[in-house]
Amino acid sequence: MVSRRVALTAVVVALLLLAGCTAPTPPPDVANGGEIEGEEAPTDEEPATDADRDAADTESHPDLDLDEDTVWNEVTTMMDSDAPQPDLFVDEMPAGADQAFEPQQSEFQAALNATESSPGGNGTSGLAMPGNVYVFPDGPDEEVEQVLVHEYAHAIQYADGMFASWLRSPPETTDEELLQTSLIEGGAVYVADEYTAENFPEFPAQSEQMAASYEAAPAGDRLLLAPYHYGAEYVHAEIDNAEELPEVYRSHPVTTAGMLDPDSQPPATDLDVDVETSDSDWSVERTDRKGELYTRIVLDTELSNDEATDAAAGWSDDELVAFEDADGQDAFVWTTQWETEDDADAFAAAFESKLDSRTDNWADRTAVERPDDRTVSVLIGPDEFRSAVNTTMTNSTVDLDLGTTTAAPALTAPAHSAPTSATGAAAPVSS
């Protein structure tokens, strides 16, 4: 059986090891200049030196129309923490941080037509790392202060070990990554909201700004923004004040499905997918669990938000198997399992509707199959791949048998015809 593992990018690893966040400029315009945050930036920078701290004290701080010590003291009081105050840098980008401002992309996302991204706009952004906080002010004073509070909250999350166990065991799937990122970022948004309500209640809460930007963003950006929007919704529903934030990390859902609907969080069904490729030209490159939140986002590219939400709501488990052949062609089988037959029907119908409205090259290389009443498999790849995949159920296990996928030899050409290629195989389809 193929194990459920996914190769994590440096950005994901940095998210947990550095316990910080970055704020890309928002793709859509947000009323009143809302601040939008993204993912943790990888960094190779050395720890701050005394010279760095002196520069921050003498040059950077005057650029902010606020007293960072007062802000820090209020945030630590709100969170009941005695964490040491991090150094503050303004308009300085640590090494490698620019990578975190890019929207999440992958070949599988491209195959689902979910990579669209909007140009970045203006807005304040920030980044937090153990011992250092960076702020890039480009908005009203209230927005800048919100961002600083958000980053200070991250510094306290890390210093107080709120998610220390995650540092010992980084996420293994997209669903787990999105869940952990949502709880980390949702916690910081919650602190910024509480601070805003106390100090400038007339200004939009950070969670409101996140929601507005998420709703207006295309799918490629929504995967970046979702943890801030849905994480904040979850944390707001779970606690009553910032002092209770550690409770979020002591007891939490195990999937994004549980985060999206804490009142009905059935455990994932632990879907088993067996893959047989011994007689095939294709090999398994990786496996992954995508989860309900990811499913909702990629359906939303062609469907309305309500339609996508309803179609993803019955998610119980899924497994993506990514394949590659000797020519470097990509192919995928995304097997999803649903709580009921009706839920499976709803997802299958929604995905077919999504396909019908697409005009991209991947749409013609995609098919939907039903191994059983509660299981839906999406096959994506060249014709020879899709025709070779045999999807069956054995008890509760989904069997993927690729058989022999080598293209058949071409017929002998008449003397006056143009010659076939040496192998007679169909030309590979570009991905």
> What pLDDT, on a 0 to 100 scale, did the predictor assign at position 5?
32
Q: Which helix (H) or strand (E) holds 90?
A: strand 87-90
Which of residues 324 and 50 earns the better pLDDT score?
A: 324
Residue-level length of the chain: 431
DSSP output for 309-364: HHHHTTEEEEEEEEEEETT--EEEEEEEEESSHHHHHHHHHHHHHHHHT--SGGGG
β-pairing, 272-276 vs 397-401, is: parallel
Q: Who has greater pLDDT, 130 or 257?
A: 257
Q: Which of 58-62, 121-125, 260-264 has the highest mean pLDDT?
A: 260-264
Residue 173 has pLDDT above 90, yes or no: yes
Express each pLDDT in 53-100 by its tens digit: 444 443 445 668 899 999 999 999 999 999 999 999 998 877 766 665
pLDDT in tens, 176-197: 999 999 999 999 999 999 999 9
**Mean pLDDT, residues 240-266:** 91
User: Rounded mean pLDDT of the chain?
Assistant: 81
Question: Residue 93, exposed/middle/buried by CB under 10 A (0-12, 13-18, 19+)?
Answer: middle
* Cα(123)–Cα(32) distance, integer angstroms: 10
Distances (CA, A) of 241 to 194, 198, 267: 7, 12, 28
Is 0.85 surpassed by the pTM of this model? Answer: no
Instruction: Give the per-residue pLDDT at 2.
Output: 35
In this predicted structure, which of 46-50, 138-142, 221-225 has the lowest mean pLDDT?
46-50
In this prediction, residue 219 carries a pLDDT of 87
pLDDT of 401 > 80? The answer is yes
Query: Which comes out higher in pLDDT, residue 313 or 42?
Result: 313
Confidence of residue 105 (pLDDT cuts 50, 70, 90): confident
Asked if the model's pLDDT at residue 209 lies above 90, the reply is yes
Task: Give pLDDT, residue 183.
Answer: 97
Nearest to residue 183, comparing CAs of 153, 146, 203? Answer: 153
More confident residue, 222 or 270: 222
Q: Which tokens go with 385? A: 């791949």
At residue 70, the pLDDT reads 96
Residues 103 and 213 sit within 8 Å (Cβ to Cβ): no
Distance, in Å, from the CA atom of 134 to the CA atom of 197, rounded to the nearest integer, reads: 23
Query: Residue 422 has what pLDDT?
Result: 30
Distance of CA 94 to the CA centre of its chain: 23
Tell me if residue 397 falls in helix, strand or coil.
strand
Confidence check: pLDDT of 415 > 80: no
